Chain A
Amino acid sequence: MPDTDGVAILDRARSGDGRAFEDLARAVEAALYRHVLRIVGTTAEAEDVVQDALVSAWRSIGSLQGGSFRAWVFRIATNRAIDSVRARRRRGELPLEPAEDEEAGWAEPVAPGPDHAELASRSEALALVEEALKTVPAEQRAALLLRDVEGFDYAEIARITAVEVGTVKSRIHRARLAVRNELVLKGWRSSAG
């Protein structure tokens, strides 16, 4: 879709055109859901968070002055998803996560494992990555998903998560390293060298 069409639709949505907003929402619905699901962990919670986020976005779309609708709605959804995780953690429904500033070293391979290219073609490898992501603190996980899955740059992620770019850089590195370490400990090795 040409950018001019996207801008026109956004302008109509900001003016109160419900159909225009629904079109915008449908374009990001799937990405929003998979992002929130990987943060909150359950389909029911993910559906609630996404629906609440889209309703909130509709009610406050008049306040969106320029910028990307996608980044803006991801901001709403990410904040709600992280708030949900924190609330469930306080209620004891989720285990405590490692402290965000906890330094993680580089795990050494314990035994030779399948090449990463081979793993990528197998569902077990992807399941391993999904499990590894769950061990990462929610804030770091959100930043990593926004970068590697959704393709936002660091500046956009900083606006989405309301932190400094330096914090985004640190979170992404720690999260990516944590996933890498989990894979290495399960016998994975990259095809380096």
Chain B
Amino acid sequence: MEMHVDNDLSAYLDEELAPTDRARVAGHLATCERCAARLADLRATSSLIASLPGPRPARSLVPSVATRWTWLRPARSLSAVASAAFLFMFLLTAAGSSGLGAPASQLSPTSFSNNAPAAAPAPAPSGPAGPLGAAAPAATAAPTAAAQPPPAEAQKDAAASRASTGLGDARDRPLAYGIEPSPLSQPPLWLGLAIVAAIGALIAHVRLRESQA
């Protein structure tokens, strides 16, 4: 008695049987109404399952993995390098400022005021001199001495001069060799730039990480 082919019906329906098995099942189905009816049931069931509606998700389930902020990569690198450069300049200017402080403190603004010692009068000639020669040095010395005002008077004149020219606050500023310090030599400037660049690099990095999450 030929065995029924129940267990092979689905594979036969799906055309997944080896050629020899397929031929065997086909031959049996040709002579067995019971198996043929069951094959029809399975075919109809498969057809119903295939015709089920396809529910769609209420929202997109595709993750956003495309890097839309492509310019952030070079910006992040540039900010990181700039931060390091600015930090180096900060350290350089800070070291330079501490190194220049000694010479500057030795110089006083008053060194350049009119309190400078009065010019020594011209030395009297040492050799014999005629009446004219003896009188000449004396005459020369007298106007020189007369030309030098007393020290107190010189200070008042200097103050008045500075006030008239708007340099009243200049005496309060350290004048290293008499030259105004450049803004680029200020350590806080470079430290601030280093911090800003570092923050920029960090923001770019976080944004890139979020876009890739």
Q: Hey, which chain A residues are within 8 Å of B62, CB to CB?
A: 22, 25-26, 29, 54
Total contacts A to B, CB within 8 angstroms? 127
- The verdict on A119 contacting B46 (CB below 8 Å), with A18-B66, A51-B61 known, is no
User: Does A192 contact B41, Cβ atoms closer than 8 Å?
Assistant: yes
- The verdict on A176 contacting B57 (CB below 8 Å), with A55-B63, A193-B37 known, is no
User: Does B40 contact A192, Cβ atoms closer than 8 Å?
Assistant: yes
Task: Please list the residues of chain B having a beta carbon within 8 angstroms of any beta carbon in chain A.
Answer: 6-7, 9-11, 14, 16, 36-38, 40-67, 212
User: Does A173 contact B54, Cβ atoms closer than 8 Å?
Assistant: no
Which of chain A's residues has its CB closest to B15's CB? A153
User: Does A180 contact B9, Cβ atoms closer than 8 Å?
Assistant: no
User: Does B16 contact A153, Cβ atoms closer than 8 Å?
Assistant: yes
How many whole Å from B41's CB to the nearest CB in chain A? Answer: 5
- Which chain A residues (25-78) contact chain B, with CB distance < 8 Å? 25-26, 29-34, 37, 43, 46-47, 50-51, 54-55, 58
Picked from B6, B46, B58, the residue with its CB within 8 Å of the CB of A148 is B46
Could you list 19 examples of A-B contacts with CB < 8 Å? A29-B57, A29-B60, A29-B61, A30-B56, A34-B55, A46-B57, A47-B59, A54-B63, A116-B47, A120-B47, A126-B48, A149-B50, A169-B11, A173-B7, A176-B45, A179-B45, A180-B42, A183-B48, A192-B41
Contact with B along A170-193 (1 / 0, CB 8 A): 101100110110011000001111
